[in-house]
Amino acid sequence: MNDILIKAKLFLTPLWNRCAALWSSLLVRWNCLLEKLSTVEIPILKKKLSPRNIGISLLVIFALIVLICVKSCGKDVKRAPTPVTTALPLSQEIRSFATFDGLVDPYLTVNLDARVKGYLTKIGFADGAMVKKGDLLFVIEQDTYIQEVKLKQAIYNEAKIEYGRQKSLLKENATSQAAVDKALSQYQQAEANLTLAKINLGYTEIRAPFDGLMGRHLLDVGTYLDTTSKGVQLSTIQQISPIYVYFSINERDFLKFTKGTNQNEDRKSEVNKLPIFVGLQSELGYPHEGILDYAANLISTNTGSLQLRAILKNENYELIPGLYAHVMAQYGEPRQALLLPRTAVMTDQVGDYVYVLDDAMRAQRQDIALGQRFEKYVEITKGLTADSKVVVNGFINLSINQIASPTEVKLEPMLTR
């Protein structure tokens, strides 16, 4: 500690001596200046002042100059009006809506299975292609089944002739009733066997059961199909026109929507009537329209949500199974509302507000209440009228009572979906 004090003393002592010498030099110069000024006669007073009086006078003048500068800096500077963009609230008829996350699902999904044995001889489609109802998709070797049909046809013809002959003989009492019954039995068995042979021959050709989208083929030409009770799966076809979109509503929103309504009657009235709008991630808005065609009969205890389903025509095959979709459902009665761009609304600790211009073109804060939110607009339920001049651009540079130079624009009508 002593070493530190010694070093500090050695450093500060020369610095103090220099400052004292400088101060002494300034005092000497100041006194010399005052001595010279004391030799000058003041015209107004017509006498000479002492150095002490001159020093006091100079200090007073310097203080007055400083005081005048300070006061002049505190005066308000007149600023030019701030340029802003204003608009009247958009008055438009709207409906309340809710949005959900959905998943596109096929209307029908069918596994195409081989039901008879044999080698796969033909594939009649391209993987992932659209096919029409009745298009030939697969062929299993047919030779064995064609010959089986011919064999059963011959047996059938013989049994038919024998049955007819036995009936003729019975009329002439040349045969017994037992022989006729036996011939009838053989005829019916032959007919059934022929029918089964034709069915098996038909199974060698697998055709599209409906217009749909094919999956990939699971087995190649030349593969032997040794069928089981479940059959051998060859491919899958999906019907995507019409198409389903599944989505879910959580328990909280479900209770909000059904509050004050008869749930059974309300559900019956909405199913097959409530319009549903769907949009993909790459699309603007909700260009695909359908209707609600299914609502689950209970809320899932695992997810706490109620599953819903919409059906859409999908005539241009724009919706493909597995795609993520945005779903919008409108509800309630149409109503007239005031709308503002969402970018014009500001929020602080007090709440939501906008700037409006009064008759003197001064900016005033206006607290508002918000309702339904849309993609670009938001509903104003309280605080504005249709004649309010709302600042929609340039409000960042505004403050309360500040004069503005407005440029008025007209808000474009909002798309309802």
Q: Is the pLDDT of residue 323 over 90?
A: yes
From its phi and psi, is residue 401 left (phi > 0), alpha (psi between -120 and 50) or beta? left
pLDDT value at residue 19: 76
pLDDT value at residue 36: 66
Residue recorded with tokens 């019916």: 188
Query: Could you tell me where the DSSP H helices lie in 92-211?
Result: 143-171, 177-203
pLDDT value at residue 109: 95
The amino acid occupying position 45 is: L
pLDDT value at residue 52: 66
Residues near 226 by beta carbon (within 8 Å), at least 6 away in sequence: 117, 232
From its phi and psi, is residue 30 left (phi > 0), alpha (psi between -120 and 50) or beta? alpha
Q: Identify the band that residue 51 occupies on the pLDDT scale cut at 50, 70 and 90.
A: low
How much is the pTM? Answer: 0.66
Indicate the range of 78-82, 335-339, 340-344 predicted with least confidence: 78-82
Q: Identify the residue with better confidence: 270 or 392.
A: 392
Provide the terminal-to-terminal Cα distance of the chain, rounded to the nearest Å: 81
- Please write the tens of the pLDDT for every residue from 367-413: 999 988 888 899 999 999 999 999 999 888 888 999 999 999 999 88
Q: How far apart are CA 373 and CA 138, in angstroms?
A: 53
Q: Is the pLDDT of residue 260 over 60?
A: no
**Angle between helix 2-37 and 51-73 (nearest 10):** 110
Q: How far apart are CA 379 and CA 94, in angstroms?
A: 9
DSSP 230: T
Q: How far apart are CA 340 and CA 366, in angstroms?
A: 13
Q: How far apart are CA 415 and CA 398, in angstroms?
A: 31
- Please write the tens of the pLDDT for every residue from 285-298: 889 999 999 988 88
Q: Is the pLDDT of residue 268 over 60?
A: no
Give me the phi and psi of 217, to 5 degrees please.
-75, 140
Residue 212, Cα to own-chain centre: how many angstroms? 28
